C-alpha cells in the first residue's frame, strides 16, 4: 500500500467516525443538548468539510507523484478552510441557540421532543383520566411546587442511588415500602442527606410514616419525620426504608404514584438514579403506564407548565405465571428488610429516636392491611411472600426527572371487593 493510499484510507476512516458521532447526536441528544455539545458537533461538521477538501486535493494520487509543494498547498488550504468554516458555523449556531438553553433534568425553556403539555397529556389518559381529574387541583399543586425544587444548598446528595418503591393496595387502605440505597460522597465538606417523601392523592388523606436506617444486619435508628425533611447519612453505605400507611385516600377508578427523582441526584455532577416501581393489589390492574415528568418555563411568564413523556405502557391482563414472577421481584426489592422489621417489632429497644407505642401501632396496622385486615399476627416475612391478586413491576435506569406511574382498576372487579386507596410520592 502506497503512502497516498494509506493517507486516503485514514482520512476516509476519520470522516466515517465523525459522521457516526453526528448521527448519534442527532438521534439521541439533539432535544436536550448543552451548548458545549452543539459546539462539538460544529467542530465535527467542520472536520468533515475540511476532510472532503483534502480528498479533492489528493483523490487522483495513486502514488505520491505530486510534488511536495502541491501537497503543502492542499493541506494549508484545508487548514484555512477549516478555520473559516468553523468560525462561520459557530457564529450562526450562537444565533440559533436560545439565550438560556435547556438543561436535561431541570426546567427547560422549550418543549423537548417526545414530551406533551399537561392538557394534551390529560386528554390522552383514557381510563386513567378520572383518576387525575377528580382531584386535579391537588395533583397539580403538589407536583408543580416540588418539580423545580432540588433540595437545600447546604447538603450533598448521595451517589449511585437506587429508589425501590412498592405499594400494596388491600381493601380501603394501603401500605408503602420505599427503600433508598446509595453511597456517601467522598471528599465533600457538606454532609450527605436523604430526602424523606410521603404525600396523599386526596387533600383529606391520612398518612402515618416511619423511617428505618439500616446499619449492617440491624436497624440502627427509627425516625418519624414530616414530608420533605432530609436525614443526614451517618455511614458510608446508605440503606433506608420508609414504611407508610395510608387511610381514607380512596380514588375509585385507579391510582397514580410519582417518584421525585430530582431530590436524589446532583445535576452539577450529571448524576442519575435507578428507579424500581411495583404495585400489588387484591384487584386486577389495567392500563399501567409510566411517565417522565418535566416543567417548561415560558421565557416571558412566571408560571410553569408540566410536560409528560411516556416511558412504558402495558394494556394488560397478566397471566398467573407473570404475576408470580413479578411478585418475586417485589420480594427481592426488599430482601432482608422484612426480617429486620420483624426483629424490631419484637425488641423495639434496639432502635432509638421515636420508637415508642406509636411505632408499634403503625407496624401492627401495616401488618393488618397486608393480611387483609386480619389480627396482624403474621410476620412481615410471611406477608410479603403472600401472593396478591395482581401486581406490576417496572425498572427504569439512569433517571434525573420525576417518574409518574398511572393505572386504572379493572372495571370487572371481583364481587364484594372494596375500592382501593390512592397515594403518591
Tens-digit pLDDT string for the chain (425 aa): 566 666 667 767 767 776 776 666 666 655 555 555 666 666 666 766 666 666 666 554 444 455 555 555 555 655 666 666 656 555 555 544 444 444 445 555 567 788 888 888 998 888 888 888 888 888 888 887 777 777 888 889 999 999 999 999 887 788 999 999 999 988 778 889 998 887 777 777 788 888 898 888 888 888 776 777 888 888 899 999 999 998 876 667 788 888 988 889 888 788 889 999 999 988 888 888 999 998 876 544 444 578 999 999 887 767 888 899 999 999 999 989 999 998 876 544 344 444 567 788 888 899 999 988 666 678 999 999 998 989 999 998 888 889 999 988 887 754 334 343 343 44
Predicted local distance difference test score (pLDDT) of residue 107: 55
Beta bridge partners of 362: none
Predicted local distance difference test score (pLDDT) of residue 103: 41
Predicted local distance difference test score (pLDDT) of residue 290: 93
Predicted local distance difference test score (pLDDT) of residue 69: 53
Predicted local distance difference test score (pLDDT) of residue 229: 84
Task: Tell the residue number behind the cell numbers 383520566, with chain if given.
Answer: 129
Quote the Cα angle for 312-410-416, to 5°.
Answer: 150
Predicted local distance difference test score (pLDDT) of residue 243: 93
Whether the full predicted model's pTM is greater than 0.85, yes or no, is: no
Contacts of the segment 352-356: beta carbons below 8 A, 24+ positions apart: 352/221, 352/222, 353/221, 353/222, 353/223, 353/224, 354/210, 354/222, 354/223, 354/224, 355/222
Q: Check: CB of residue 381 under 8 Å from CB of residue 274.
A: no
User: Cα–Cα distances in Å, from 91 out to 95, 96, 283?
Assistant: 7, 9, 60
Give residues with Cβ within 8 angstroms of 402, minimum separation 6. Answer: 143, 146, 147, 258, 259, 260, 261, 262, 292, 293
Amino acid at each position: 500500500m502506497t503512502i497516498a493510499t494509506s493517507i486516503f484510507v485514514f482520512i476516509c476512516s476519520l470522516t466515517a467516525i465523525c459522521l457516526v458521532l453526528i448521527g448519534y447526536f442527532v438521534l439521541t441528544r439533539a432535544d436536550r443538548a448543552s451548548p458545549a455539545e452543539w459546539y462539538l458537533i460544529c467542530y465535527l461538521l467542520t472536520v468533515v468539510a475540511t476532510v472532503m477538501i483534502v480528498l479533492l486535493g489528493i483523490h487522483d494520487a495513486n502514488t505520491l507523484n505530486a510534488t511536495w509543494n502541491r501537497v503543502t498547498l492542499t493541506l494549508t488550504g484545508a487548514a484555512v478552510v477549516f478555520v473559516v468554516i468553523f468560525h462561520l458555523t459557530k457564529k450562526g449556531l450562537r444565533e440559533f441557540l436560545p439565550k438560556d438553553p435547556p438543561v436535561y433534568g431541570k426546567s427547560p425553556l422549550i418543549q423537548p421532543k417526545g414530551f406533551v403539555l399537561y392538557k394534551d397529556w390529560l386528554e390522552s389518559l383514557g381510563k386513567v383520566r378520572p383518576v387525575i381529574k377528580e382531584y386535579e387541583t391537588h395533583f397539580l399543586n403538589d407536583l408543580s411546587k416540588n418539580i423545580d425544587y432540588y433540595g437545600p444548598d447546604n447538603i450533598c446528595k448521595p451517589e449511585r442511588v437506587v429508589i425501590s418503591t412498592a405499594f400494596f393496595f388491600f381493601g380501603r387502605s394501603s401500605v408503602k415500602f420505599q427503600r433508598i440505597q446509595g453511597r456517601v460522597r467522598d471528599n465533600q465538606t457538606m454532609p450527605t442527606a436523604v430526602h424523606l417523601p410521603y404525600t396523599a392523592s386526596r387533600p383529606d388523606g391520612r398518612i402515618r410514616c416511619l423511617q428505618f436506617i439500616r446499619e449492617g444486619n440491624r436497624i440502627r435508628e427509627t425516625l418519624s419525620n414530616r414530608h420533605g425533611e432530609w436525614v443526614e447519612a451517618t455511614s458510608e453505605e446508605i440503606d433506608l426504608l420508609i414504611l407508610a400507611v395510608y387511610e381514607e385516600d380512596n380514588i375509585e377508578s385507579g391510582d397514580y404514584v410519582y417518584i421525585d427523582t430530582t431530590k436524589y441526584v446532583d445535576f452539577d455532577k450529571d448524576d442519575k438514579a435507578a428507579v424500581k416501581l411495583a404495585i400489588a393489589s387484591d384487584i386486577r390492574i389495567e392500563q399501567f403506564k409510566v411517565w417522565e415528568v418535566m416543567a417548561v418555563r415560558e421565557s416571558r411568564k412566571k408560571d410553569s407548565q408540566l410536560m409528560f413523556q411516556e416511558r412504558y405502557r402495558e394494556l394488560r391482563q397478566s397471566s398467573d405465571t407473570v404475576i408470580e414472577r413479578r411478585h418475586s421481584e417485589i420480594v427481592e426489592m426488599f430482601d432482608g428488610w422484612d426480617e429486620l422489621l420483624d426483629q424490631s417489632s419484637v425488641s423495639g429497644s434496639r432502635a432509638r429516636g421515636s420508637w415508642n407505642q406509636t411505632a408499634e401501632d403503625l407496624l401492627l396496622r401495616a401488618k393488618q392491611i397486608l393480611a387483609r385486615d386480619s389480627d396482624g399476627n403474621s410476620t412481615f416475612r410471611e406477608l410479603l411472600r403472600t401472593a396478591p391478586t395482581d401486581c406490576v413491576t417496572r425498572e427504569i435506569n439512569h433517571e434525573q426527572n420525576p417518574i409518574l406511574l398511572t393505572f386504572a382498576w379493572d372495571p370487572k372487579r371481583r364481587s364484594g371487593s372494596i375500592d382501593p386507596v390512592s397515594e403518591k410520592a
